[in-house]
Structure 1
Amino acid sequence: MHSNLWIEERYKDFYGMRYKVENVLYSKKTEFQTVDVVETKGHGKMLLNDGLVMVTERDEIAYHDMIAHVPLFVHPNPKNVLVIGGGDGGTAREVLRHSSVEKCTMVEIDGAVCEACMEFIPQTAEVLKGHPKLDLIIGDGVKFVQEFQATNEKFDVIIIDSTDPIGPAAPLFGPEFYTNVNKCLADNGIVVSQGESPWFEAEIQKSMLGVLNDIFKNIFIYNFSNLTYPGGLWSFTFATKGDIHPINDFRKEAVAASGLEFSYYNEGLHQAAFYLPTFMKKNLEGLIQNP
């Protein structure tokens, strides 16, 4: 037992968050990163990649609800979904709750993340142990979209559930990657990506949205809040190949009709997430089509 252990995630040289650790459950250094799962006092089990908090049992719902349900309740009929990253399984779990989805392909670069979560965080990873509609691929998402264009298959929704643009995730933020993503999308396809912190990474947000503007037709950004990412307020980017609009084409009636229960997401929050704080609107002026 490690009853006196605290872990601290530091952001640059001026900010940190500390968590009381009850027990270390898993620790492995892979060719890509160090993967840890710890039992914390206040947040339940927690996944860390290279010492950065990825998922906790307590607040994972906020991230996974908003990355999955926002695009899936905007697209008119999402049948074929691709998740890149998301090794904890939470995004695939939420995608597969939608009855219209016939197939979810998930491409995670580091099998140890899936392995650790399947063993210690079944709350998010149970779906990875075997679901008839899930095709789990341990491989490079960048390479996957590059090679996938040769097939006739297209995705209705692509979700980029990545870490920050460092290490193995760095290429997931570049123009070459998004050009290939665009080629893998159906004509009215949607791509949603983890979009960093408006407080701390305003420049990365501008850079990401600049890349998306060169490739996609309509670009938006939306926010969610959680307990464990630096600054609390975080964003997802939302880009479309056709004319789909995340508010005007939001299928409100489908939320109730789905019969799904959500812990974070709801129809009011879906719309509100696209209304941005003033500082953020000013920073991203000319890059987004938010109201």
Structure 2
Amino acid sequence: MSEQRWIETLYQGYGQSFTVDKLLFEYKTDHQHLMIFENQQFGRVMVLDGVVQTTERDEFVYHEMLTHVPVIAHGNAKRVLIIGGGDGGILREVCRHSSVEHITQVEIDQSVIDMAKEHLPGHSDGAYDDPRANIVIGDGFDFVQQCQETFDVIISDSTDPMGPGEVLFTKDFYAGCQRCLNPGGVLVTQNGVAFMQTDEAANTAKRLTPLFKDWHFYSAAVPTYVGGIMAFAWASDSAQLRQQSLEVIRQRWQATGIKARFYTPELHLAAFSLPQYLLEAIGKA
């Protein structure tokens, strides 16, 4: 019997494949096609609509960088909003900050949360039971348009800009987030693999420019997001958040008592240094 292989369909003419050592779950929900399988290199792999979303082995890189960079840079985040993130990894990392008092997570698909809890329990690691967490099943775009609450940090952990995730890359979504931010707050979003999806970063830059006094991108290399560095968009009304000294970042990080696997204060600062091709694409060369 030949081995079963799954091939990612994110890019035309290029991709990655995984052996499917054991298919754990496959289901087409009202919103998307969800699959979870085991792979000898990356453990359990979650796929939505033909695109790898997260794996057991390398999820910590993405989740730590999308969470700790804004929370540590802010320095006093009490209220955090997560858009998407149904696998629970971002919620887990936010919950590790004892200084955060309230977390709202808006996920469009309850079945993603349920399946991740069952098949990827280490991602949330009990975070869905944290009393600070308020889980809202609904559309993230609609939420930020209608929400009357405000937040210190907003983290958009969306799928790529196709299907349900497409509206989370629009000017109106970013404007809604800006409206929901407290003064001195920060918005961060996943923004694709910069080398393969350079146009996405350029489009995000154009949409953030009229809305925020300070915007930029930072990056991390996540093995299963193939094609180079993963880019994260950063937007705030305060330029100071992006200009903290290494000493300040170190002090804040040490005060949390968190033991990370990827994030360090040194990486925090270095992540904002971008390659020339990306600086040119976003108009900051």
| Shorter-chain TM band | over 0.9
Kindly provide the CA deviation profile for residues 164-196 of structure 1, in whole angstroms up to 9, marking residues without a partner as x. 100001111111111111111001110000011
Corresponding residue for residue 224 of structure 1: 220
Give the number of aligned pairs: 283
Q: Is the 8 A contact 2:75 2:252 kept in 1?
A: no
User: Unmatched 5+ residue regions in structure 1?
Assistant: none
Shift of 1:32: 0.9
Q: Is the 8 A contact 1:67 1:236 kept in 2?
A: yes
1:83 aligns to what SS in structure 2? strand
| Counterpart mapping for 1:111-130 below 5 A | 111-130=110-129
Residue number among 193, 199, 224 corresponding to 2:195 in the alignment: 199
AA paired with 1:263?
R
Corresponding residue for residue 48 of structure 1: 47
2:30 aligns to what SS in structure 1? coil
Kindly provide the CA deviation profile for residues 194-226 of structure 1, in whole angstroms up to 9, marking residues without a partner as x. 011211111111001110111111001001001
Q: Is the 8 A contact 1:191 1:239 kept in 2?
A: yes
Corresponding residue for residue 100 of structure 2: 101
CA RMSD in angstroms, aligned pairs only: 1.6
Shift of 1:147: 1.1
Corresponding residue for residue 209 of structure 1: 205
1:278 aligns with 2:271: no
1:89 aligns with 2:88: yes
Shift of 1:283: 2.3
Shift of 1:131: 1.1
Corresponding residue for residue 252 of structure 2: 254
Aligned mates of 2:59, 2:2 — CA distance in 1 = 24
Aligned mates of 2:58, 2:27 — CA distance in 1 = 24
1:215 aligns to what SS in structure 2? coil
Corresponding residue for residue 65 of structure 2: 66
Aligned mates of 1:101, 1:128 — CA distance in 2 = 13
| Counterpart mapping for 1:167-206 below 5 A | 167-206=163-202
Between 114-123 and 251-260, the greater mean CA deviation after superposition: 251-260
| Counterpart mapping for 1:233-272 below 5 A | 233-248=229-244, 251-272=249-270
Shift of 1:241: 2.3
Aligned mates of 1:127, 1:137 — CA distance in 2 = 17
Corresponding residue for residue 34 of structure 1: 33
Aligned mates of 1:129, 1:72 — CA distance in 2 = 19
2:93 aligns to what SS in structure 1? helix
User: Unmatched 5+ residue regions in structure 2?
Assistant: none
Q: Is the 8 A contact 1:73 1:252 kept in 2?
A: no
Aligned mates of 2:205, 2:268 — CA distance in 1 = 20
TM-score normalised per structure 2: 0.95
1:115 aligns to what SS in structure 2? helix
Aligned mates of 2:167, 2:9 — CA distance in 1 = 23
Q: Is the 8 A contact 1:75 1:244 kept in 2?
A: no
Shift of 1:247: 3.2
Aligned mates of 2:2, 2:88 — CA distance in 1 = 29
Shift of 1:136: 1.0
Q: Is the 8 A contact 1:111 1:138 kept in 2?
A: yes
TM-score normalised per structure 1: 0.93
AA paired with 1:140?
D
